[in-house]
């Protein structure tokens, strides 16, 4: 004879199932990321800024070098920016003049030039500043609000703090894409320069002290 469940018991079971459904589905779902990697990773965006300057046989035209310096100042040129020169004439003097201004900010010109809108006429050179910015879209992410975690997954906000701080603090966002280029000089080599200069300096006590009389003439 089949067992019958009393009506109050059936109502209790139905209420429990509805509560679990609301807990799992209505509160933002459960964590599903079972790896140790955050789904929120830094994204690097690159923007090109351009300035057309007049050129001449000896480099930049009259007043153009000061105009270029003012543009660099307004741009807040800094480490991580890349400066290119698109010169149809290929005059080395133009590149040298632009590099002299960029050198005030500790930057050297990059090789080549990115593709930009418009056509560069003869007698004009286009200076391109490429600036990269790193951010972590979607952070913070508190979309998963359920404590029910049978998959043992990571929270939706996992990694947001670390990756957002890394994106904000990295000096050159391009390093997040392909890493910093090796210059061949290690940190130990740079740190030892001051020590070597101190060791190679002549002792200050090596010079003889000239005799001076305290008696009046």
CA dihedral sign of residues 213, 215, 216, 217: negative
Alpha-carbon gap, residue 102 to 72, rounded angstroms: 8
Sorted by where each begins, the domain ranges of the chain are: 27-42+136-177, 47-132
Q: Give percent of the chain with pLDDT exceeding 90.
A: 35
Alpha-carbon gap, residue 71 to 188, rounded angstroms: 37
Put simply, whether the predicted model's pTM sits higher than 0.85 gets the answer: no
Q: Residue 11: its pLDDT value, please?
A: 46
Q: Is the model's pLDDT at 10 over the cut of 80?
A: no
Burial 117-128 (b: 16+ CB within 10 A, else e): eeebeeebbbbb
Model pLDDT for residues 11-49, shown as the tens digit of each residue: 455 555 545 544 444 455 777 888 888 889 999 999 999
Alpha-carbon gap, residue 142 to 46, rounded angstroms: 28
Alpha-carbon gap, residue 126 to 121, rounded angstroms: 9
Q: Is the model's pLDDT at 75 over the cut of 50?
A: yes
Average pLDDT in the 55-76 region? 90
> Please, are residues 169 and 36 in contact by the beta-carbon 8 Å criterion?
no
> Please, are residues 153 and 31 in contact by the beta-carbon 8 Å criterion?
yes
Q: Residue 67: its pLDDT value, please?
A: 93
Model pLDDT for residues 106-140, shown as the tens digit of each residue: 888 988 888 888 888 888 999 999 999 999 999 99
Average pLDDT in the 139-148 region? 84
Between 205 and 95, residue with greater pLDDT = 95
């Amino acid at each position: 004879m089949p067992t019958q469940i009393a009506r109050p018991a059936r109502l209790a079971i139905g209420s429990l199932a509805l509560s679990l459904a609301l807990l799992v589905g209505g509160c933002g779902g459960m964590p599903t990321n079972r790896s140790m990697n955050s789904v929120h990773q830094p994204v690097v965006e690159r923007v090109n800024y351009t300035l057309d300057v007049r050129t001449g046989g000896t480099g930049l035209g009259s007043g153009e070098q000061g105009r270029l310096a003012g543009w660099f100042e307004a741009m807040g040129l800094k480490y991580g920016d890349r400066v290119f020169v698109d010169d149809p004439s290929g005059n080395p003097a133009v590149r040298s003049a632009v590099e002299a201004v960029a050198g005030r900010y500790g930057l050297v010109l990059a090789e080549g030039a990115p593709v930009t809108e418009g056509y560069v006429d003869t007698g004009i050179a286009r200076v391109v500043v490429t600036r990269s910015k790193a951010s972590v879209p979607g952070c913070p992410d508190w979309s998963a609000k359920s404590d029910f975690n049978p998959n043992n997954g990571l929270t939706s906000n996992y990694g947001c703090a670390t990756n957002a701080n890394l994106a904000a603090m990295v000096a050159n966002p391009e390093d997040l894409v392909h890493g910093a280029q090796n210059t061949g000089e290690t940190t130990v080599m740079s740190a030892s320069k001051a020590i070597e200069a101190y060791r190679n300096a002549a002792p200050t006590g090596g010079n003889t002290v000239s005799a001076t009389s305290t008696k009046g003439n």
